[in-house]
Structure 1
Amino acid sequence: MSAKTDRIDRLAELTARKDEGGHGLWYEAFRRLRRNPLAMTGAVIILLFVLIAILAPWLAPHDPAAQTWLGEIRGAEGFIPGPRSGNWLGVDGLGRDELSRLIIGSRQSLLVGVVATLLGFTAGAILGGLSGAFLGMFGKAGRWVDSILMRFNDMALAVPSLLLAISVATILGQGLVTVMIAVGVTQIPVFARLLRGSMLAQSHSDYVLASTALGVRKRRIVLNHILPNSMSPVLVQATLSLATAIIEAAGLSFLGLGGANAANPEWGVMLADSQQYLATNLRLAVYPAVAIIITALGFTLLGEAMREALDPKLRK
């Protein structure tokens, strides 16, 4: 029996490899990504975003909470100084350096995006994995569990993500942790449905049929082979979900649910604060909006390129 299971293990590994070259699936995908200009553009944007977020305390030229230039605004009847020496992007309505607030705000956006995506990925993978595992291991009884889990999942998918996030944030109250949880909850049904579908597709693979014919236990097939080989599309979705998480977190902060303080500015809060100056100082809204768009674009470009590289139907 040991020799049989070893052969099944090798067969399962081979099904996750590309036919040519003998290299692993992720190695071949990485090779294709390196030749994709959109993927490289997205990777560069993400790398710059991460570096800026990590090095923000040293890159910010001024204290983002210090109202150093507030006197100039009051003394000039509402005039807000624009870009100039010492303030490359000007100051905001409270006399704070706009560039410093943008740089420090990247840390909040990165933190919320990563934590929210990890929460959604973990909970969604557990839910989708349980559904796919029960369906594969317990037959008719497993279908009942799968049906119950997926009906709840479908109800969550039926609600627009931003509306669901607002509902969760309203229940939990204002705060940065609330935003992370709210955005993470909206991503759970997406990961769950994707992993379940991927496991169902893998269940019809040759190695599953061969292992079943050889008498290998269904639990071993599901947990050791089907589940690991089903994770590729879920990991790609995590990259795309980071972009969505950053946008939704900014939206919640824009609506006043983020709870960001002056010492730790957030791009969504900066957008909300700029609304009263749209007629006279549009740049205050443009800066954080452009930062959100470019960051989300970077994750989207890389995620779509990864999906194309890993999915044979989408490869060029």
Structure 2
Amino acid sequence: MSTKTDKIDRLAALTAQRETTTGGSLWVEAFRRLRSSKMALIGVAIMALFVVIALIGPWIAPHNPTSQLWRDEVFTNRGEFVGPRGENWLGLDHLGRDQLSRMLVGARQTLLVGVISTVLGFVVGALIGGVSGAALAFGGRAGQRLDTVLMRFIDMMLAMPSLLLAVSIAAVMGQSLTTVMIAVGVVQVPIFARLLRGSMLSQANADYVLAARALGVRRRRVVMGHVLPNSLGPVIVQSTLALATAIIEAAALSYLGLGNPDAAQPEWGVMLAQAERFFDEAPFMAICPALGIIVTALGFTLLGESMREALDPKLRS
């Protein structure tokens, strides 16, 4: 857990830095470095392609993803499957459904789960981290006690493996798509909470905050009008990395049978689980959704890591 928390605290501390050699802000310089980063450009390209496919997938899918049009051509008991061909570019699954259509339509559900779970983790984590950071920086002794209680709870969540925590929550709540979103979102909460808290503590010692307090500005106005808006930068960076994690963990929960109870509806994790028992005879059934998950998560990760490195001069040396 120490390595994970160290990375979070390091990213939080970046908001207190300012570029003094060129006169430009930290974010302007970071954006300039991003534009010249091949890794960031690749990440953006993958993300853009994934989002476009997720949005227009149902309209460009060549066939109905749930229709078993070619059921009479597939015989699972004899190990006879239909691979890629002119009519079905990615082949057929074990029920005679078009793999390409299911991949295109399934991208939307994968994106939906990833975005909603990340937003959920962001909102709840930002609420806890914002209260904790404001209490510790401006709340006196009572604020210190509140911060201690909140952070010990967050540390306990960070100490648990994220996938194990998500599986436990999903198992308790039952099988559904909503369960997956909540489970993955809860896993993201401690990361956002600790990150925003650390960022707010860094901003609390900034000159503009000391000046505002010296002028008699109310603490609530200082927190909400100055400290909090200037502390959200690293949290936004983390949300990009959190999307990659959310996609992988949502696929893992679906693979374990804790996702959408309607197995006919295409989703990459469900498709991977269904293809597992036929891997020896039809590996293409598993390769397609696996590559979709890997490449998509890679795109978000590349952009997130590039943003983090652009903000941290030490990581660029």
Identify the residue that residue 158 of structure 1 maps to in structure 2: 159
Structure-2 separation of matches of 1:280 and 1:55: 32
Structure-1 separation of matches of 2:78 and 2:245: 40
Summarize the Cα distance change of 1:306–1:278 in structure 2 as closer, same or farther, 3 Å threshold.
same
Is 1:58 matched with 2:54? no
Shift of 1:135: 1.3
Is 1:30 matched with 2:41? no
- Which of 29-38 and 178-187 deviates more? 29-38
- Relative contact order, higher structure (CA 8 A, sep 6+): 2
Identify the residue that residue 285 of structure 1 maps to in structure 2: 286
Instruction: State how 1:66-105 maps to structure 2 within 5 Å.
Output: 66-74=67-75, 77-105=78-106
Identify the residue that residue 229 of structure 1 maps to in structure 2: 230
Structure-1 separation of matches of 2:131 and 2:285: 47
Instruction: State how 1:1-316 maps to structure 2 within 5 Å.
Output: 18-19=19-20, 24-74=25-75, 77-259=78-260, 261-315=262-316
Tell me, which stretches of 5 or more residues in structure 2 are unaligned? 1-15
Paired residue type of 1:196: R
- Which of 279-288 and 215-224 deviates more? 215-224
Paired residue type of 1:213: A
Paired residue type of 2:179: T
Shift of 1:315: 4.2
- RMSD value over aligned CA atoms? 2.0
Q: Deviations over 1:252-285 (max 9, x none)?
A: 0000010253553111111110111111111211
Q: Deviations over 1:285-315 (max 9, x none)?
A: 1111111000000000000111122234434
TM normalised by structure 2 equals: 0.90
Q: How many residues are matched?
A: 303
Q: Deviations over 1:74-128 (max 9, x none)?
A: 3993300111111111101111111111111111110000000000000000000
Paired residue type of 2:239: A
| Paired-residue identity, % | 60
From the CA coordinates, give the structure whose radius of gyration is larger. 1
Structure-2 separation of matches of 1:272 and 1:168: 20
Structure-2 separation of matches of 1:168 and 1:110: 21
Paired residue type of 2:192: F
Shift of 1:192: 0.3
Paired residue type of 1:144: R
Paired residue type of 1:39: A
Structure-1 separation of matches of 2:140 and 2:170: 39
The answer to whether the Cα contact below 8 Å between 1:157 and 1:190 also exists between their aligned partners in 2 is yes
Paired residue type of 1:172: M
- Which of 205-214 and 275-284 deviates more? 205-214
Moved over 6 A (4+): none
